[in-house]
Chains A and B, each alone.
Chain A
Amino acid sequence: MNIHEYQAKALFEKFGVAVPKGTTATTPEAFVTALAALPEGPTMVKSQIHAGGRGKGTFTNGFKGGVKFCKTKADALVMAGNMLGQTLVTAQTGPAGRKVQTIYFTVASDIKKEYYLAILLDRATSRPVIVASTEGGMDIETVAHDTPEKLFKVLVDPAYGLADFQVRELISKLGLAGAEAKNAAKLIRNLYTMFWETDAAMVEVNPLITTPTGEVLALDAKVSFDSNALYRHPAIVALRDLNEEDPKEIEASKYSLSYIALDGNIACLVNGAGLAMSTMDIIQHYGGTPANFLDVGGGASKDQVIAAFKIILGDPNVKGILVNIFGGIMDCNVIATGIVEAVKEVGLKLPLVVRLEGNNVVAGKATLAASGLALVSGDTMADAAQKIVKLVA
């Protein structure tokens, strides 16, 4: 689960990670009150959407830049009016963009130097890893690729926690000394505590900055949480912003369906995540484009199948549907009956190819054939994928 920058920074403050002072507003009327809480002087105006690349983004009304520096609070007030309620398109949002519903004003810090700091899971060692770099404000993948010697990593032993010598090692590699070193050490320790105690999946600060007076501040904050652990963090669940999620994905989660919208035109409905991914792949292999990832889980009950069809059909780009079910334990005839009832209920007008395999498959195929529905049966995944691609072309 992702949260907004302003929410992440509130968490940072709670855990003693220093950030520039900031306030938010969700209506133009609230701009003045929000800005009144900040001191007079240079102010940042930041559009709050979950996607990255906000600074280089463009609003659909043509206005450029979702993050702006303003010399005065008066300028910030005007600037915020250009952003609130507008749709921001960035490299990560897709062409539809995201509507900006919250503006975050912060004091514009005096930057001495920018750094990079992140904490995430190192899958190879199954330990948290702290990643730091002297190249702040850049795309970290580029830094890792072009100048790996400027990227420093520390693996944390979960049995002991972050050790002091590891913090000193990071500080030294970042070339920090004096007050900067002391403040950075405190920030790194507290950020790790936050990562660990909130079950965060990733915490990224880019840039982390030093100021001429020796302060060390998190200028940006990107935080995501392990969704498996949300049950023990109700306060974090409350930060979820449904405006940032695809309505179809929200609807799917109500039926324990795992759905991800893509931009193709062949929808798929599959049981199991691995099979669902490879169904998308095989559609593409035969020249089609998948419209979604949809895992109905191991069971695939009738209600789930109906809900799944409704969600799929809610995507106007969909021109055909491929159902791929491997009924290992589940009786294929039960699944076939569910598909027939679902199709009758939703009144399908698009080409539909169904590939059923597994337990009691003969009866399942007979049920599909006897349904009177205009569906096409596929024998293997390859056969089914080729058929739907041809029907949609």
Chain B
Amino acid sequence: MAILITPETKIIVQGITGDFGGRHAKLSLDYGTHVVAGVTPGKGGQFFEYGAHKVPIYNSVADAAKATGATVSVIFVPPPFAADAILECVDAGLELAVAITEGIPIKDMIRVKRAMAGAKTRLVGPNCPGIVTPGTGKDSFGGCRIGIAPGYIHKKGHVGVVSRSGTLTYEAVFQLTSKNIGQTTCVGIGGDPVNGTNHLDVIKLFNADPETHGIILIGEIGGNAEVEAARWIKANCKKPVAGFIAGATAPAGRRMGHAGAIVGGAEDTAAAKIAVFKECGIEVAATPSDMADALLRAAKAKGVTLT
């Protein structure tokens, strides 16, 4: 079993008629993902046509879910409307909303998160590359690709990857696939300070997933989410875990591209997080080029096979 999404998952694309959403809806269809509906208010009844695909568009998430049985939605709508788009997924009772949108005001996310307390819908993101569960076909075709990650770099297998960053995740996945090590699911949780699913949530899912044999945990400066995950791993996770923290050279007080990547105090520096990783038995990648090798070292030490 993969986590969060499987190749059978049916997905809705909110903002499918926009450039960004439309482009990535096409790439997901190319990957063999079941994109079953689009949502653009006011364009209900129209179709998103691409090759042999004819994806129906609905005015609301509730309409789309009811008509298609979709349980997951991916959000590409512009920042001023993104919070509303997430809440619409909650209201429609979806299992999962994945918000790709970058630049949502923090206050909007504070309110969304509060409104989601107790709701059954899980949020991944915002400001994230999305989730990929690779398929069994050529270049992992036939998988479920939600968001903006390149599908073809993946390979179906037994490693779980969780990260705040897009391209750094691709770097890790590429290293794994190049070494013929496949992945169960790769989750980008996003670079914003207020997000739905955090590192620990994903680690718990990977830990409970029998198909996942090893985990790569990629973090960065700012906040304490990685530290929280590391401490839980030390106490609960028997699987080999490799970790990397970006931002060792970042100056304090500056936002490094991601809204959440900022050193506010001594505890959210890269050095502090790396120290906690080591203390918790996580094999630390010395450089970003070392992520797959670090996991191999961790697996070897625990006698676990990753392939």
Contacts and interface: CB of A to CB of B under 8 A. Distances in A.
B236 interface: no
A282 B249 CA distance: 9
B27 A329 contact: yes
Nearest to A381: B289
B244 A141 contact: no
A272 B165 contact: yes
B109 A274 contact: no
A196 B107 contact: yes
A274 B106 contact: no
Interface string B83-123: 00000000000000000000111111111011100000000
Given A159-B114, A326-B171, A278 B246 contact: yes
A123 interface: yes
A202 to B, nearest CB: 9
Interface stretch (B8-16, B45-53, B54-62, B255-263): B255-263
A287 interface: no
Contacts of B194: 121, 123, 126
A260 interface: yes
Interface stretch (B34-42, B147-155, B207-215): B147-155
A290 B289 CA distance: 17
Contacts of A385: 287
Contact of A272 (B168, B247, B270, B290): B168
Interface string A206-233: 0000000000000000000011110110
B265 A273 contact: no
B134 interface: no
Contacts of B1: none
A126 to B, nearest CB: 5
Nearest to A274: B165
A123 B260 contact: yes
B115 to A, nearest CB: 7
Contacts of B260: 123
B288 A275 contact: yes
A382 interface: yes
B111 to A, nearest CB: 5
B266 A141 contact: yes
A136 interface: no
Contacts of B171: 275, 278, 326, 357, 381
B79 A295 contact: no
A231 B288 contact: no
Of A258, A284, A329, A381, chain B has the most CB atoms within 10 Å of the CB of A329
B106 A275 contact: no
B195 to A, nearest CB: 8
A272 to B, nearest CB: 3
Contact of B107 (A141, A229, A260): A229
Interface string A253-294: 000001010100000001111111111111111000010010
A380 B289 contact: yes
B110 A277 contact: no
A273 B224 contact: no
B110 A271 contact: no
A392 interface: no
Contact of B168 (A232, A275, A283, A293): A275
A169 interface: no
Contacts of B110: 121, 126-128, 158
B69 interface: no
Contacts of B259: 226-228
A3 to B, nearest CB: 15
Contacts of A226: 105-107, 259
Contact of B153 (A121, A157, A358): A358
A92 B254 CA distance: 11
Contacts of B152: 359
B67 interface: no
B105 A228 contact: yes
Contacts of B158: none
B160 interface: no
Contacts of B258: 273-274
Contacts of A124: 223-224, 228
Given A199-B107, A329-B148, A358-B153, A278 B244 contact: yes
A281 B106 contact: no
Given A228-B106, A284-B249, A328 B257 contact: no
Contact of B167 (A144, A232, A280, A328): A328
Given A281-B247, A293-B257, A382 B167 contact: no
A201 interface: yes
B251 to A, nearest CB: 7
Contact of A274 (B104, B167, B174, B254): B167
A257 to B, nearest CB: 10
A42 interface: no
Contact of B256 (A92, A128, A260, A380): A260
Rank and list the top 10 A-B pairs by shortest CB-CB distance, nearest first. A274-B165, A273-B257, A272-B167, A274-B168, A328-B150, A229-B105, A382-B289, A275-B167, A278-B288, A277-B246
Given A229-B106, A382-B290, 14 more contacts: A141-B265, A157-B114, A227-B259, A231-B79, A270-B167, A272-B168, A272-B257, A274-B261, A277-B246, A278-B244, A280-B248, A281-B248, A383-B289, A385-B287
9 contacts: A124-B223, A145-B266, A271-B167, A276-B256, A277-B257, A280-B248, A290-B249, A358-B170, A381-B171
